[in-house]
Structure 1
Amino acid sequence: MRGEWNGLQALFLKDCPYAYYIHCFAHRLQLALVAASKEVHDVWLFFSKLSSIVNFVGASAKRCSELKSIREDEIVDMISSRELETGKGANQIHTLQRHGPTRWSSHFTSVSRLIDMFCSTCTILEKLMDNGLNSNIRGEAKGAYKEIKTFEFVFILLLLYKVLGVSDMLCQALQMKSQDILNALNLVSSTKLLLQELQDGWNDFFRSVTSFCRKHDIHMPNMSDHYMEGTRRSCQQKNNITIEHYYHFNIFNAVIDFQLVELDSRFKEETMELLVLSEALNPMNRFKSFKIDSICTLAEKFYSKDFVEDELNALKRQLEHYKLIHLVLTLPVSTATTERAFSTMKLIKTSLRNKMENEFLTNFMVVYIEREIAGAIDPDFIIDKFDLLKNRRIQFN
């Protein structure tokens, strides 16, 4: 979309040279945070194993159906034993979800689904180990079962659920149709604070891991033993550290540190100058931070096509006399609506409709983009109104 000659950005700038190209902050942030987590080698391996397990369990409709059936039985048992509460929309039966590099929150959803369906997934893997159609299926099921029942896999699974869950709240908030840039900065600050609190909560997190391992009969190593790398040969050991030290500092702290660094770099690099200037428009405390020079610089640098020189001078005089108090100069940090609209084009203009004219496509897109309004329209009313427009001949063969 950013192609200099043939991309969509170039087409927009041709007709509207003062338009600004704004990245989808929610999408880019999600991808950046996942990539930051994968900087830890063990996390990269975890996602590889997770993808293999999800793909194997969901390889056929029969396995997905059996997984749902097992999960349904588990929910019934937990409700009868009062481990789960009932209510409208509660205890929905899902299946495992694949994570994708271009889908919002798919990594967090994939992790959370596996946690919810951990017992069901282990059960179906055990069945495939014993009753698989051939040795390949039985062998693959055994390998997946051994991986999912390891302490390292469970530790990283629960860690990513915590970390990605915190950043997912920010990503979901940034997917709103419009967002004031100062409010976005506050969201980033609160996300960083939650991550820092999580980093200080190692003991609470480790207790949750211990509880999960006991519940699902997963062997826990002696955390005071020396951590052995590679094939555990003495010549390969570089650091004399305990297992607890490795999981605490090399994985737990490292993942959170990468997330914090990525948050700082993304928002400082992309928006810091604009944030400083926009602070002058903050209405808090009766526009206490109101600064004429900052507002004029904002208009001159970021809205130069909207203000000619005479208008900039007039703007400054107006601000001096407080004739222009309320300015609507907000940055839509979320382009989720636009990106969803482009994704919908693939559903509307398919290979069978490749000759669809622009006007017809536009009408289709308007109905989708304004679906909240369209959903409130009564189809019978439209049919009746169309029928009253003109009498039509009906030919019978």
Structure 2
Amino acid sequence: MDRFFKRKSSSVVEDVDREKSNSVTFDITQLPTDPGLRIPILDYDVNIRDQVRRAYMQKGPCQPLDHDFPYRPFGQTQTRRFNPAWFKEFGSWLEYSVSKDAAFCLYCYLFKTSVGKQGGGDAFVSEGFSYWKSKDRLNIHVGDHDSAHNKARIKCEALMNQEQHIQSAFFKQSKQVRSDYRIRLTASIDCIRLLLRQGLSFRGHDESENSENPGNFLVLLQFLGDHNDEIKAVTMNKAPLNCKLTSPDVQKDIVSACAAETINAIIKDIGDSFFSILVDESRDVSTNEQMSIVLRYVNNSGQINERFIGLEHVSSTTALSLKAAIDKTFSKYNLSLSRLRGQGYDGASNMQGEFNGLKSLILKENPCAFYIHCFAHQLQLALVAVAKKNTPISNFFRLVADVVNIVGASSKRCDHLREKQANIVAKALENGEILSGRGLNQETTLQRSGDTRWGSHYNSLISLLAMFSAVIDVLEMISVDGSNSDQKGEAYNLLESILSFDFAFNLHLMRTILAMTNELSKALQRKDQDIVNAMELVKLCKQRLQSFRNDGWDSFVQQVYSFCQVHYIDVPNMDDMFIRRTARGRPQRQAPEITYLHHFRVDLFCAVIDMQLQELNDRFSEANTELLLCVACLCPKDSFSAFDKKRLIQLAEFYPEDFSSVNLLTLDDQLETFIFNMRSNKEFEGLKGLGDLAEKLVMTKKNIIYPLVYKLLTLVLVLPIATATVERVFSAMNIVKDRLRNRMGDQWMNDSLVVYVEKEIFSNIDNEVIIQRYQNMKNRKELL
């Protein structure tokens, strides 16, 4: 025998190699068909012995050609013929060595069984059995049930049985122990589910048994046990000391399993669909730079989804660093950059740089990943630009910020403001000036404005208008009863400034303009918004601003006059001459002579609106105008009145990787049938946007009938509109990682944030799936 094999049993390794020879490799598919060749089973490694035998039984009596063991056809030697059918008849114990031309017993050889003269003495163990005339000797060697051969067989089968391995035997558990472990693990997962959904902390400062506040996780687990006897019997102090499943490592492993299954559900939902990427950066409470990645795609039901797949900590915010982080995420989740069809970022130079920005780096690898500037950020940038470019408006916003700061500087002043406002509301209700009802006249306070929060300027101005009388009272109180002269002087100056016609005029002007754009801003933040509706909203916003500029002056100025009359603000005579003044208050030299009417209507009213219109036109033209015009041709409104086949073919040409020249010809014919079907089908009447069209096509299974049209529609729908979802992620990040949890690691925060943001998907994941992933993450002390 040239080579046997090694087997491992507990800590003992039995090396049963004899007469060492080189290991032989072979290709089963290349087995020769010559029936005169032998099978050198024992001359091969144990890992391939069974493969050789199975292949042999399938192809017939043959053996692989092997140069180390040159075969000798039967008839040219004095060796007797070994019947290949014996392998099948006597099972797995029979082994044959081509070099010795003899058969051996695997069981007896493995356990060095000495059978004396039974079954041919040691022939099947030492020198080998080669007396081929007597087949009965094989049966004699097997013997009855208590023969040495069968005893060796039982030992070998036990050795091969994984469940009888020493490690399995060591960890062998009763059904009750496994049941208790499952109950305990399920209870911990249920507690973690609640904490993750609410974004709550897990641990306390003192988690000892005598602690009055050991943390949310332990308190919730105790509460769960107090209301469930089955859980109480196996958790907390009733659990084994080495398997309580309450340690921080166990908590992190369970959260990691929850996040992994949530991401898997998202990736599975994406499938092989096209998608776009939305990226933004922000610092967490520990001043670590975090990059949020969101994917926008159309699922199998035709619904538009934007899903958060994770945070990446980036030490540098250069375009190359961000690109490397995106590549790492794509590799981690097996996402292909070739399926990317859109990019959405804010206005940062490292994102939208023409040559070295993130968008340019991705476009070099995938030219079809079209970049669309965030519409909502464009809108906010336009509003901020107005505040910075127009000096009176910039000064107005500075005054608003100062008023909010000084009135809300202390809790005493805030309480006084609420008290004053409550008295004003009560008086107005008594006089019938305002109506009462559910949700009306609720207690409020001044809101701070900010350049990075959409709609915050508008909310700040609305609150100031609603509480203007109360704000005046509080400023008067501070100017008289302030703790020092600086506070008194600052309050007096602010009171004098806001009780001017200029402030009242600018307050109503900016409130009206921001009210028009606020509706657009909110609409653009919807997750299911499509690019056609977005462009229509932008167009509507421009039309409202233009109409307000042309025809809204008279009604607007009357509104300002009424406000000034209520609050005793002096109104200048519009026909008087207006004196322009420098920053120091001196009259401006050689200034043109203009009236107050010209100043307020031309220099402020028309100028501010013109700046808004110009800013909107400039910002929204950054997107590929031709692409957007082609997209609008798919809009289903008014029975597909905007349908234009030439434009849609042109749109398909933007995606050469998805529409070949043959596909374009097919699409041309398919569009003709598609539009005729749509206009004659009542099911497609009343659709409002591309999203509704996609869902209806899937619902009626017409996406199968018109596959190229549906592909074109999905390519349009994945184009990003706004980075609102990314902004929501950063808002959630401030909840999950707050000032008291500022030492959270990046992985711990990422896992918690994925589940918190995508709680809708996480709610549909069964506990059993999480349990199995948790068990497979590493070797556990308990088995299921």
TM over 0.5: yes
**Residues 78-98 of structure 1: per-residue CA shift (max 9 Å, x gap):** 111111111111112211111
What's the counterpart of residue 215 of structure 1? 566
Q: From 376, 380, 386, give the equivalent of 1:26.
A: 376
Query: What is the match of residue 158 of structure 1?
Result: 508
613, 616, 640: which one aligns with 1:263:
616
Q: How does 1:8-87 map to 2 (within 5 A)?
A: 10-12=324-326, 15=330, 16-18=336-338, 19=340, 20-23=342-345, 24-87=374-437
* Distance in 1 of aligned mates of 2:563 and 2:462: 14
Matched, 1:89 2:439: yes
User: Distance in 1 between the 2:475 and 2:458 partners?
Assistant: 22
Q: What is the Cα-based RMSD across aligned positions, in Å?
A: 2.8
CA distance in 1, matches of 2:540, 2:534: 10
Higher-strand-fraction structure: 2
- Mapped contact 2:458–2:515 kept (Cα < 8 A): yes
What CA distance in whole angstroms lies between the structure 2 residues aligned with 1:205 and 1:372? 48
Which residue is 2:721 aligned to? Answer: 333
Query: Does the aligned pair in 2 maintain the 1:349–1:356 contact within 8 Å?
Result: no
User: What's 2:464 paired with?
Assistant: 114
In the other structure, the counterpart of 1:202 is 553
**Offset of 1:172 from its aligned partner?**
0.8
1:314 aligned residue (663, 667, 691) = 663
Q: Give deviations 1:21-61, integer Å, cap 9, x for gaps.
A: 21332133122223124422100111111111111111112
The alignment of Structure 1 onto Structure 2 pairs a total of residues equal to 374
**Contact kept? 2:387, 2:397, Cα under 8 Å:** no
1:146 partnered with 2:468: no
| Alignment equivalent of 2:596, drawn from 238, 243, 246 | 243
Counterpart code for 2:755: V
Cα 1:109–1:13 change in 2 (3 A) is same
Structure 2 unaligned spans of 5+: 1-279, 281-316, 331-335, 346-373, 674-705, 772-784
1:226 paired with 2:577, answer: yes
Structure 1 residues 235 and 289: CA distance shift in structure 2, 3 A:
closer
1:135 positional shift: 1.1
Given that residues 79 and 86 in structure 1 are in contact (C-alpha distance below 8 angstroms), is that contact kept between their aligned partners in structure 2? yes
Q: Residues of 1 paired with 2:579 and 2:651: CA distance? A: 57
- What's the CA shift for 1:146? 0.6
Quick check: 140-149 or 290-299, which moved more? 290-299
Gapped regions of structure 1 (runs ≥ 5): 387-397
- Give the letter for the 1:245 counterpart: H
Quote the offset at 1:292 in angstroms: 4.8
Contact (CA 8 Å) 2:469, 2:567: kept in 1 or not?
A: yes
Q: Is the 8 A contact 2:479 2:487 kept in 1?
A: yes
Task: Report if the CA contact (8 A) 1:178-1:333 is conserved.
Answer: no
Deviation at 1:308, TM superposition (A): 6.7
Q: Aligned partner of 1:17: which letter?
A: L
Rounded Cα–Cα distance in structure 1 between residues aligned with 2:653 and 2:743: 44
Match of 1:183 among 515, 533, 551: 533
Aligned partner (choices 278, 282, 287) of residue 631 of structure 2: 278
Q: Is the 8 A contact 1:37 1:259 kept in 2?
A: no
Task: State the distance in 2 between where 1:58 and 1:213 align.
Answer: 24
User: Which residue number in structure 2 is paired with residue 358 of structure 1?
Assistant: 747
CA distance in structure 2 between the aligned counterparts of 1:365 and 1:117, rounded to whole angstroms: 40
SS of residue matched to 1:5: helix
1:334-368 CA deviation, whole Å, 9 max, x = no partner?
Answer: 33122211332233235735444637733443333
Between structure 1 and structure 2, the one with the greater Rg is 2
The verdict on how the C-alpha distance between 1:160 and 1:288 changes in structure 2, with shifts beyond 3 A counting, is: closer
C-alpha spacing 1:287/1:214, structure 2 compared with 1 (3 Å) = closer
Q: Identify the residue that residue 348 of structure 1 maps to in structure 2.
A: 736
Structure 1 residues 315 and 339: alpha-carbon distance in aligned structure 2, compared to 1, 3 A threshold: farther
CA distance in 2, matches of 1:108, 1:263: 17
Equivalent residues of 1:178, 1:332 under 8 A apart: no
| SS across alignment from 2:337 | coil
**1:296 and 1:315 in contact (8 A); partners too:** yes
SS in 1 for 2:569: coil
The whole-number CA distance in structure 2 between the counterparts of 1:159 and 1:286 is 39
Q: In structure 2, do the counterparts of structure 1 residues 68 and 365 end up closer, same or farther at CA, with 3 Å as the change threshold?
A: farther
Partners of 2:509 and 2:533 lie apart in 1 by: 28
Check if 1:6 corresponds to 2:314: no
Tell me, what secondary structure is at the counterpart of 2:460?
A: helix
Query: Structure 1 residues 289-298 or 55-64, which shifts more?
Result: 289-298
Shift in CA distance, 297/354, structure 1 to aligned 2, threshold 3 Å: farther
| SS in structure 1 at match of 2:480 | helix
- Does the C-alpha gap of structure 1 residues 361 and 129 become closer, same or farther in structure 2, counting only changes over 3 Å? same
Q: For residues 579 and 497 of structure 2, what CA distance do their matches in structure 1 show?
A: 18
Q: Give the 3 Å change call, closer, same or farther, for CA 360–263 of structure 1 in structure 2.
A: closer
Find the aligned partners of 2:636 and 2:588 in 1 and give their Cα distance: 64
Matches of 2:463 and 2:343, distance apart in 1:
35
1:285 deviation in Å? 4.9
Q: In structure 1, what is the Cα distance between the partners aligned to 2:594 and 2:614?
A: 26
Flag the structure with higher helix content: 1
TM-score when scaled to structure 1? Answer: 0.85
Note the alpha carbon deviations across 1:252-301, whole angstroms, 9 max, x for none.
Answer: 00011111111111222224122122123222454454445543443443
SS of the counterpart of 1:163?
A: helix
Q: Which fold has the larger relative contact order, with Cα–Cα distance below 8 Å and residues 6 or more apart in sequence? A: 1
Name 2:173's counterpart in structure 1: none
CA 1:75–1:304: 2 relative to 1, 3 Å: farther
Distance change (3 Å), C-alpha of 1:313 and 1:248: same
Contact 1:97–1:113 under 8 Å retained in 2: yes
Aligned-partner residue type, residue 227 of structure 1? F
Query: Residues 367 and 118 (structure 1 numbering): CA distance in 2 closer, same or farther, change over 3 Å?
Result: same
Moved more, 190-199 or 276-285: 276-285
Structure 2 SS opposite 1:238: coil
Q: Distance in 1 between matches of 2:639 and 2:597?
A: 52
The amino acid across from 2:759 in the alignment is E
> Within 2, Cα distance between the matches of 1:270 and 1:325?
23
Q: Which moved more, 1:72-81 or 1:26-35?
A: 26-35
Change beyond 3 A, Cα 1:369–1:88:
farther
Alpha-carbon deviation of 1:164? 0.8
Whole-Å separation in 1 of the counterparts to 2:616 and 2:610: 10
Equivalents in 2 of 1:26, 1:345: separation in Å?
21
* Comparing 140-149 and 14-23, the one that deviates more: 14-23
**1: CA distance between counterparts of 2:609 and 2:480?**
40
Hey, what's the Cα distance between the residues in 2 that align with 1:141 and 1:360? 44
**Separation in 1, partners of 2:588, 2:433:** 49
Mean Cα deviation higher: 364-373 or 53-62: 364-373
| Deviation of 1:314 (Å) | 2.5
- Once residues 189 and 195 of structure 1 are traced to their aligned partners in structure 2, the CA distance between those partners, rounded to angstroms, is 10
- Are residues 129 and 284 of structure 1, via their aligned partners in 2, closer, same or farther at CA, if it must alter by over 3 Å? closer
Does the Cα contact within 8 Å between 2:414 and 2:445 map onto a contact in 1?
Answer: yes
